[in-house]
């Protein structure tokens, strides 16, 4: 589900060691016990949303598919496992031939989810499914957290432009994944070229304060940038005096100046003053871009300001205070053999705390009210009620080990817009509250 499917495939190394050691030791023990081939169903879900959040956003599904395809143990990895005595020789032999051959169903990327939603369902032998736990959770927990933050920021922006610019605030590979997830959640562009190259996300960027400081005067810096990038460029106007910089910017670029960027100060007050000044100078079409540690609340506070676009970095790539979704990956059903005719038995962890789970292979559907607005997330393990059959949420992603549901990233982005429109209006409120839909088990 990324631009690799559109001809920009980027080499992905094996994901087999993006895992925890106990996944492999469980396989060793299961192989020895003769239970490794038992047909099993694992599900990824979250027991609760981050505090105050009203919905979650599924993101990273396309990256999960890439990870499953590339989950194999090469000779060097096998040698490492042997040298470190992680598992025994029979297990190493089994791992050397590993390829996932099962089925995966899940919520399509961009869809929203709620506590208990079976976001991903992985079916196959116990051994081949359990190995995927860590990498699947790593991707879904990170990407869905970023997408949820992006979705809230997009709602707060109210249709104004959003630029993802958090690459310097996180791990270099996380930055690429964050840009992708932010795009699913409603951001329009990214500053990260790797994200543009890998996923086809539109990229933007012009200059930083260092470029202004390099030159003998602000006018020289603006002239150099305009001469190189054209009058439609964005000039950074808060290096020295904002009012003087705006005046100089319009003198250098003319009223055709594309935009000015403000990166400090009281953004609400400064934006109003800059807008007035631009209009007085005849640059009525020049846009205003604001940056500076924005989050959804800061964006919402600027709703009355004459701002055309927001650039967001740190708060976005850290999930705006919620860097994970606390998703888990649990065995929910298993047979006593590999025989397809063997009955699948529901299994579930029992706990005195909040870590209990619901057993059984699940389906999910969203029930609508008389106005066509979602009123409940319905999760079940038996037959799907006739009235919900057309509202089922899980789609087939992998069949017999082969990916069957790749799609352009744009499709996930559009799906998220549609999903939000189907929720009660209170879903996009930034005030703290319970999940906007209850989860009903049937």
Say which residues have a Cβ less than 8 Å from residue 33's Cβ, sequence separation at least 6.
none
Secondary structure E strands in 165-286: 189-190, 234-236, 259-262
Beta partners for 440?
378
Query: For 327-336, how does the pLDDT look when each residue is reduced to its tens digit (9 = 90+)?
Result: 999 999 999 9
Indicate if the pLDDT at residue 2 is higher than 60: no
Provide the pLDDT for residue 5: 45
Distances (CA, A) of 83 to 25, 29, 30, 97: 15, 19, 22, 19
Provide the pLDDT for residue 356: 76
The share of the chain scoring above pLDDT 70, in percent, equals 97
- pLDDT band of residue 6 (cuts 50, 70, 90) is very low
Beta partners for 113?
56
Indicate if the pLDDT at residue 352 is higher than 80: no
Provide the pLDDT for residue 13: 79
Site of tokens 């079916």? 123
Say which residues have a Cβ less than 8 Å from residue 195's Cβ, sequence separation at least 6.
164, 175, 176, 179, 180, 183, 201, 203
Provide the pLDDT for residue 351: 72
- Are the C-beta atoms of 253 and 231 separated by less than 8 Å? yes
**95 SS3 class:** helix
Query: For 158-196, how does the pLDDT look when each residue is reduced to its tens digit (9 = 90+)?
Result: 999 999 999 999 999 999 999 999 999 999 999 999 999
- Are the C-beta atoms of 40 and 331 separated by less than 8 Å? yes
- pLDDT band of residue 78 (cuts 50, 70, 90) is very high
Secondary structure E strands in 324-414: 327-334, 345-346, 363-368, 374-380, 395-399, 402-403
Indicate if the pLDDT at residue 124 is higher than 60: yes
Report pTM: 0.94
Beta partners for 363?
380
Provide the pLDDT for residue 309: 98
Indicate if the pLDDT at residue 234 is higher than 80: yes
Query: For 82-112, how does the pLDDT look when each residue is reduced to its tens digit (9 = 90+)?
Result: 999 999 999 999 999 999 999 999 999 999 9
- pLDDT band of residue 432 (cuts 50, 70, 90) is confident
Provide the pLDDT for residue 222: 98
What does the alpha-carbon distance between residue 240 and residue 233 come to, in Å, rounded to a whole number?
19
Task: Give the single-character DSSP code of 379.
Answer: E
Mean pLDDT of 62-81: 97
* Helix axes of 61-69 and 409-421: crossing angle, nearest 10 degrees: 140
Indicate if the pLDDT at residue 8 is higher than 70: no
Indicate if the pLDDT at residue 391 is higher than 90: yes
Mean pLDDT of 288-308: 97
- Are the C-beta atoms of 187 and 313 separated by less than 8 Å? no
Count how many Cα atoms sit within 13 Å of the Cα of residue 32 in the half-sphere of its side chain: 12
Q: 241 or 2: whose pLDDT is higher?
A: 241
- Are the C-beta atoms of 337 and 37 separated by less than 8 Å? yes
Indicate if the pLDDT at residue 4 is higher than 60: no
Query: For 263-292, how does the pLDDT look when each residue is reduced to its tens digit (9 = 90+)?
Result: 999 999 999 999 999 999 999 999 999 999
How many CB atoms within 10 Å of residue 216?
7
Say which residues have a Cβ less than 8 Å from residue 42's Cβ, sequence separation at least 6.
121, 122, 123, 129, 130, 132, 133, 329, 330, 331, 332
- pLDDT band of residue 436 (cuts 50, 70, 90) is very high
Mean pLDDT of 137-151: 98
Indicate if the pLDDT at residue 12 is higher than 70: no
- Are the C-beta atoms of 161 and 308 separated by less than 8 Å? yes
Provide the pLDDT for residue 7: 44
Tokens of 220: 């020289």
Mean pLDDT of the chain: 95
């Amino acid at each position: 589900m990324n631009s690799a499917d559109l001809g920009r495939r980027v080499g992905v190394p094996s994901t087999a060691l993006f895992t925890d050691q106990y996944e492999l030791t469980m396989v060793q023990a299961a192989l020895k016990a003769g239970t490794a081939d038992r047909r099993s169903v694992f599900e990824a879900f979250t027991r609760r949303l981050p505090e105050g959040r009203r919905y979650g956003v599924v993101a990273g599904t396309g990256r999960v598919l890439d990870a499953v395809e590339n989950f194999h143990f090469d000779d060097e990895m096998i040698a490492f496992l042997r040298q470190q005595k992680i598992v025994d020789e029979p297990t190493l032999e089994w791992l050397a031939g590993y390829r996932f051959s099962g089925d995966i169903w899940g919520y399509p990327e961009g869809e929203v989810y709620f506590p208990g939603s079976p976001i991903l369902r992985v079916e196959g032998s116990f051994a081949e499914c359990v190995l995927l736990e860590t990498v699947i959770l790593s991707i879904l927990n990170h990407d869905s957290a970023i997408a949820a933050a992006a979705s809230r920021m997009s709602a707060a922006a109210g249709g104004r432009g959003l630029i993802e610019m958090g690459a310097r605030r996180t791990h270099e590979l996380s930055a690429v994944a964050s840009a992708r997830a932010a795009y699913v959640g409603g951001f329009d562009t990214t500053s990260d070229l790797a994200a543009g190259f890998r996923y086809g996300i539109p990229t933007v960027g012009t200059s930083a304060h260092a470029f202004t400081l390099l030159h003998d005067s602000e006018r020289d810096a603006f002239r150099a940038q305009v001469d190189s990038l054209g009058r439609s460029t964005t000039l950074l106007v808060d290096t020295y005096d904002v009012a003087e910089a705006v005046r100089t910017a319009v003198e250098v670029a003319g009223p055709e100046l594309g935009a000015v960027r403000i990166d400090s100060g009281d953004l609400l007050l400064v934006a109003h003053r800059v807008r007035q000044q631009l209009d007085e100078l005849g640059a009525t079409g020049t846009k205003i871009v604001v940056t500076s540690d924005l989050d959804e609340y800061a964006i919402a506070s600027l709703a009355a300001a004459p701002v055309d676009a927001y650039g967001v970095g740190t708060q976005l790539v850290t999930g705006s205070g919620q860097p994970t979704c606390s998703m888990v990956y649990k065995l929910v059903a298993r047979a006593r053999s590999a025989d397809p005719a063997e009955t699948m038995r529901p299994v579930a962890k029992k706990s005195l705390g909040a870590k209990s789970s619901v057993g059984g292979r699940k389906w999910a559907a969203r029930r609508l009210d008389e106005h066509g607005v979602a009123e409940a997330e319905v999760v079940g393990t038996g037959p799907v009620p006739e009235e919900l059959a057309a509202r089922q949420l899980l789609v087939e992603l992998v069949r017999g080990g082969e990916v069957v549901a790749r799609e352009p990233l744009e499709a996930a982005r559009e799906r998220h817009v549609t999903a939000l429109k189907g929720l009660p209006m209170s879903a996009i409120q930034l005030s703290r509250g319970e999940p906007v839909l209850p989860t009903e088990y049937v």
